[in-house]
């Protein structure tokens, strides 16, 4: 009886901390380990699904942190799903929304686990449950974020030599704008003709600084500027965009489909960064993507330095989007000193490959989970 088989019987969650190969510096935070909540859902048929909620620097990138995610999952979200049908994804989403406002990273991890468990039961990838794939591999960039131009030139050189990445996102906003511009000039000169550059200011600038710096970024050859001004300032972002020769990428200002619609109305962005932690799961990501598509806004596959588990969940969605103009940034598994799955994602020729296999396409390594789980 499929209805009974697919009923959610148990949900468990673990906080893990995995060290990164180097310090990763954003405008307002810096990490040397990545923290996730790994969620496991068990169905009546005994099949287990996994999902991951990523964070960055505690509750600094968004309002959720692993401690709040685990608490909300255990006390409110998991109880709302016990006894529900795992394959009724929209209904499950409604149950989760009724149980807790926002908490999108927590909901995204749980919904990912549902897609994994149902896909495993039916023997199909999560992408098939979302409408199938139009691509099996996705261009993937690497992020330079040590803040030290010399180190960054060397790191980019290694990635280029290994044909792992030829596009680099540079994290700016931790230092004065002029210092970042000087750093970018050094990078652009060192990598000229070999690499493409984009930048992410993570809301660090105001409108005046953005207007001052964008012509220089254009001159340096930067292809895309991500979230130069605070998330709340859509009108400012739209004014900056009107004067800018470089396209703008919306990140922290787009969580919900309503946010996406507001950005479209304001004419505030050329592209949007899609992330499960912002959109509350695979279905939510499809909905935000659909609003962007309707507005002619390009899609970019964003990340929050997920491990292979969270990255795989994103790839299941990205593989099914008709146009993914700006590729993706799911390099997360490569910046960790270790992975949480038995078989890591495959990176080659500046692409990341959609894993084959049912559900998310990756399998949790129980030993690794134990090793990195917080006591």
Q: Residues interacting with Mg ion, by CB under 5 A? A: 200, 226, 251
Of 239-258, which residues contact ligand MUC (CB under 6 A)? 251
Q: Identify which of residues 29 and 100 has a Cβ nearer to ligand MUC in the complex.
A: 29
Structure tokens at 54: 């990523």
Per CB under 6 A, the list member of 304, 309, 336, 360 interacting with ligand MUC is 304
CB of 146 to ligand MUC, least distance (A): 11
**Per-residue binding letters, 158-187, with ligand MUC (x by CB under 6 A):** -------------x----------------
272 binding ligand MUC? (CB under 6 A):
no
Looking at beta carbons only, is 180 or 226 nearer to Mg ion? 226
Minimal distance, residue 46 CB to ligand MUC, in Å: 36
> Do 337 and 18 touch, CB atoms closer than 8 A?
yes
Q: Annotated catalytic, 136? A: no
- Which residues neighbour 328 within 8 Å (Cβ) at sequence distance 6 or greater? 138, 139, 140, 141, 300, 301, 302, 303, 314, 315, 318, 352
Q: Which stretch binds ligand MUC (CB under 6 A): 67-75, 210-218, 240-248, 301-309?
A: 301-309
143 is an interface residue for ligand MUC by CB under 6 A: yes
Torsion 223-201-251-319 (CA) sign:
positive
Q: Indicate the residue among 13 and 273 with the shorter CB distance to ligand MUC.
A: 273
Sign, Cα dihedral of 148, 149, 150, 153: positive
Nearer to Mg ion, 64 or 226 (CB): 226
User: Is residue 198 close enough to count as binding ligand MUC by CB under 6 A?
Assistant: no
Helix (H, G, I), strand (E, B) or coil at 63: coil
Binding ligand MUC (rule: CB under 6 A), the pick from 180, 200, 270, 339 is 200
Note if 329 is an active site residue: yes
The count of residues in the chain is 375
User: Quick one: tokens of 174?
Assistant: 């931790």
* CA dist., res. 216 & res. 183, Å (int): 12
Distance CA 202, CA 193 (A): 27
Alpha carbon distance 299, 323 (integer Å): 7
Catalytic residue among 111, 155, 306, 329: 329
Q: Is 62 in the site for ligand MUC (CB under 6 A)?
A: no
- Would you call 247 helix, strand, or coil by DSSP? coil
Which residue's structure tokens are 């405008």? 27
Q: From the CB of 10, what's the least distance to ligand MUC, in Å?
A: 32
Q: What is the DSSP letter of 1?
A: -
| 152 lies in the binding site for ligand MUC (CB under 6 A) | no
Adjacency order of strands within the sheet including 48-54: 8-25, 30-43, 48-54
Judging by DSSP bridges, how do beta strands 137-139 and 142-144 pair with one another?
Answer: unpaired
> According to CB under 6 A, which one of 202, 285, 316, 334 is a site residue for ligand MUC?
202
Q: Which strand (E) or helix (H) includes residue 18?
A: strand 8-25
Helix (H, G, I), strand (E, B) or coil at 219: helix
Distance of alpha carbon 68 from alpha carbon 80, whole angstroms: 17
Closest separation in Å from C-beta 226 to Mg ion: 5
Parallel, antiparallel or unpaired: strands 351-353 and 137-139: antiparallel
Which of ligand MUC, Mg ion, none is residue 303 near (CB under 5 to 8 Å by kind)?
ligand MUC
Does position 303 interact with ligand MUC (CB under 6 A)? The reply is yes
Instruction: Supply the residues annotated as catalytic.
Output: 171, 329
Q: Which residues of the shown chain bind ligand MUC in the complex (CB under 6 A)?
A: 26, 56, 143, 145, 171, 200, 202, 251, 302-305, 329
């Amino acid at each position: 009886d499929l209805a009974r088989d697919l009923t959610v019987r148990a949900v468990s969650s673990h906080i893990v901390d995995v060290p990164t190969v180097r310090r990763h510096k954003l405008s307002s935070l810096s990490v040397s380990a990545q923290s996730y909540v790994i969620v496991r859902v068990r169905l009546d048929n005994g099949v287990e699904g996994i999902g991951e909620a990523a964070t960055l620097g505690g509750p600094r990138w968004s309002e959720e942190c692993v401690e709040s995610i685990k608490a909300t999952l255990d006390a409110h979200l998991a109880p709302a799903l016990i006894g529900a049908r795992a394959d009724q994804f929209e209904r499950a989403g409604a149950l989760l929304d009724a149980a807790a406002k926002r908490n999108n990273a927590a909901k995204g991890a749980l919904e990912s686990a549902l897609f994994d468990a149902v896909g495993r039961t039916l023997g199909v990838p999560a992408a098939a449950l979302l409408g199938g794939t139009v691509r099996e591999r996705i261009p993937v960039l690497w992020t330079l974020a040590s803040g030290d131009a010399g180190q960054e030139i060397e790191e980019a050189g290694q990635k280029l030599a290994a044909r792992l990445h030829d596009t680099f996102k540079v994290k700016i906003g931790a230092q004065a704008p002029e210092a970042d511009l000087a750093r970018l000039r050094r990078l652009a000169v060192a990598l000229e003709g070999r690499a493409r550059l984009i930048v992410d200011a993570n809301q660090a600038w105001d409108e005046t600084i953005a207007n001052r710096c964008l012509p220089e970024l254009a001159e340096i050859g930067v292809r895309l500027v991500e979230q130069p001004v605070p998330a709340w300032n859509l009108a400012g972002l739209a004014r900056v965009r009107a004067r800018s020769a470089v396209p703008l990428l919306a990140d922290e200002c787009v969580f919900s489909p309503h946010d996406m619609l507001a950005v479209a109305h304001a004419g505030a962005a050329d592209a949007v960064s899609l992330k499960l932690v912002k959109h509350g799961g695979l279905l939510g990501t499809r909905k935000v993507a659909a609003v962007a598509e309707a507005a002619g806004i390009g899609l970019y596959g964003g990340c929050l330095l997920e491990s292979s588990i969270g990255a795989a969940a994103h790839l299941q969605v990205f593989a099914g989007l008709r146009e993914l103009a700006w590729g993706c940034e799911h390099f997360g598994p490569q910046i960790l000193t270790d992975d949480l799955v038995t078989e890591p994602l495959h990176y080659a020729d500046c692409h990341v490959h959609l894993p084959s296999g049912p559900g998310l396409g990756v399998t949790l390594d129980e030993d690794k989970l134990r090793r990195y789980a917080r006591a």
